[in-house]
């Protein structure tokens, strides 16, 4: 997508607006497939939580991609998108046994990450195949806010609880068909990920009827020009070799599974916002835009960096701006960032807005959630309408209580 394409999208659909490049999503999907081309049975399950628009799910599924889901609602979205339930993995955290049983009825693969639910589920449904999510206690990324493999993480069953886990499986007679791990996001060091993989392999030896090993994801994408990213090709070469050795020792070929979310959609997304006002103080020039953390919370929530480009004046003189939102809270997207000179009415494009942007959006300050657009075959396709005031009222029950009774 060119700047002119993006400006045309903003003109047609208004701002703020999310725009996703289908070609980039396909490129990332095929890049991961090619890195593991020597694996006989590779399955890629897209992490729905990153971007759950049904059109995106349908597009990925058209290329052969399954889904990784964390709620019964995400499972239902996948089914609505036409995904075969056998291609959906359900990996919740902290949900009730009743929700897991709902998903069983829908036909998705169950992945359980705590001993209490594992025992309850095994006692009631020993015939249902279950994957187990382990916590390897290895951090593959550097950001504590997005790492889930640390010792105090709420995710996964600790590898140190393996004896108890095995006792539960033996007592219930349940069918364990997969082992899963996830170490968190922004993997920088391939060797750290490979060490975590060895823990997964060691855990898998305890189960005789496995069908797949799920290595999660967490691959780092570049957030700015020259930024480091996970070397997928190196990982593919090294992990493929080790996976083949394990399967040989295990006695049969298993399926290798990945669950990328951000890796597939982050770089494909642009978030376009219009500059409402330029405000200069004694020390700072603010560019106030028609959005806030209600639409893009990652900079405030995770401290994440998003490149910001003035696509209305890309060749303008570089000046320093603090880009802030219109929310009645502190919602600073960037402090003293070098951006081509901005004037009121310009359109700013935020990069890496494909993952955890719309999916974490809200109606804070009673603002509408933006439209979503898919750029596919050099054409903009509306895949979600902008909300209206009627949407804000849709589920409210308005009652007239009158004034309080006087004493």
Residues 382-396: tens digit of each pLDDT: 999 999 999 999 999
254 plus 280 within the same structural domain:
no
Q: Is 65 a residue of the active site? A: no
The answer as to whether 301 is a domain residue is yes
44 plus 189 within the same structural domain:
yes
- How many domains does the chain fold into? 2
Residue 334: closest CA among 317, 355, 348, 314: 348
112 plus 29 within the same structural domain:
yes
Over pLDDT 90: what percentage of the chain?
A: 85
246 plus 277 within the same structural domain:
no
316, burial (CB in 10 Å: exposed 0-12, middle 13-18, buried 19+): middle
Query: What pLDDT shows up at residue 89?
Result: 98
40 plus 175 within the same structural domain:
yes
65, 131, 247, 328: the catalytic one is 328
175 plus 280 within the same structural domain:
no
The Cα–Cα gap between 285 and 210 comes to 59
Residues 65-87: tens digit of each pLDDT: 999 999 999 999 999 999 999 99
Contact 255, 214 (CB under 8 A): no
Residues 22-50: tens digit of each pLDDT: 999 999 999 999 999 999 999 999 999 99
Query: What pLDDT shows up at residue 287?
Result: 98
- Write out the DSSP string of 130-173: EEEEEE-----BS-TTT---STT-SSSEEGGGHHHHHHHHHHHT
The neighbouring-strand residues paired with 17 are 272, 371
The boundaries of the domain holding residue 72 are 22-262
Query: What pLDDT shows up at residue 26?
Result: 98
198 plus 236 within the same structural domain:
yes
Phi, psi of 328 (to 5 degrees): -80, 55
The Cα–Cα gap between 183 and 216 comes to 8
51 plus 174 within the same structural domain:
yes
Spans in the chain with pLDDT lower than 50? 143-150
pTM over 0.95: no
DSSP-derived 3-state class of residue 17: strand
Which of 237, 262, 287 lies at the terminal end of a domain, its last residue? 262
Q: What is the CATH number of the domain that holds 302?
A: 2.40.37.10
Residues 158-188: tens digit of each pLDDT: 999 999 999 999 999 999 999 999 776 677 7
Q: What is the CATH number of the domain that holds 181?
A: 3.20.20.10
43 plus 171 within the same structural domain:
yes
Query: What pLDDT shows up at residue 149?
Result: 46
């Amino acid at each position: 997508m060119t700047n002119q394409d993006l400006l045309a999208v903003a003109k047609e659909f208004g701002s703020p607006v999310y725009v996703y490049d289908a070609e980039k999503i396909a490129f990332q999907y095929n890049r991961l497939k090619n890195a593991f081309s020597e694996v006989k049975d590779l399955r890629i399950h897209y992490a729905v939580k990153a971007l759950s628009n049904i059109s995106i799910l349908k597009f990925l599924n058209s290329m052969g991609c399954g889904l990784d889901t964390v709620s019964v609602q995400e499972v239902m979205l996948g089914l609505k998108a036409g995904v075969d339930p056998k291609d959906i993995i359900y990996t919740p955290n902290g949900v009730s046994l009743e929700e897991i049983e709902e998903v069983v009825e829908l036909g998705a693969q169950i992945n359980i990450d705590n001993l209490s639910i594992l025992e309850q589920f095994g006692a009631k449904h020993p015939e249902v195949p279950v994957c187990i999510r382990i916590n390897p206690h290895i951090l593959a990324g550097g950001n504590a806010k997005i790492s889930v493999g640390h010792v105090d993480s709420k995710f996964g069953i600790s590898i140190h609880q393996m004896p108890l886990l095995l006792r539960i499986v033996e007592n219930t007679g349940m069918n364990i068909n997969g082992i899963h791990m996830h170490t968190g996001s922004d993997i920088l060091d391939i060797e750290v990920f490979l060490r975590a993989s060895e823990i997964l392999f060691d855990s898998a030896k305890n189960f005789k009827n496995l069908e797949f090993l799920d290595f999660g994801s967490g691959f780092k994408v570049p957030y700015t020009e020259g930024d480091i990213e996970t070397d997928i090709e190196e990982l593919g070469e090294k992990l493929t070799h080790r996976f083949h050795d394990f399967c040989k020792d295990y006695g049969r070929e298993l399926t290798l599974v990945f669950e990328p979310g951000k890796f597939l959609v982050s770089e494909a997304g642009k978030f376009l916002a219009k500059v409402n006002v330029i405000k200069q103080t004694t020390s700072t020039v603010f560019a106030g835009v028609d959005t806030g953390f209600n639409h893009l919370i990652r900079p405030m929530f995770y401290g994440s960096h998003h490149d910001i480009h003035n696509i209305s004046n890309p060749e303008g003189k570089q000046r320093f701006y603090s880009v802030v939102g219109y929310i009645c809270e502190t919602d600073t997207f960037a402090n003293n960032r070098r951006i081509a000179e901005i004037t009121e009415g310009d359109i700013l494009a935020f990069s890496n807005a494909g993952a955890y942007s719309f999916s974490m959006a809200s109606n804070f300050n009673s603002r509408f959630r933006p439209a979503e657009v898919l750029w596919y075959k050099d054409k903009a396709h509306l895949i979600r309408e902008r909300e209206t005031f009627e949407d804000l009222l849709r589920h409210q029950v308005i009652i007239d209580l009158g004034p309080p009774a006087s004493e």
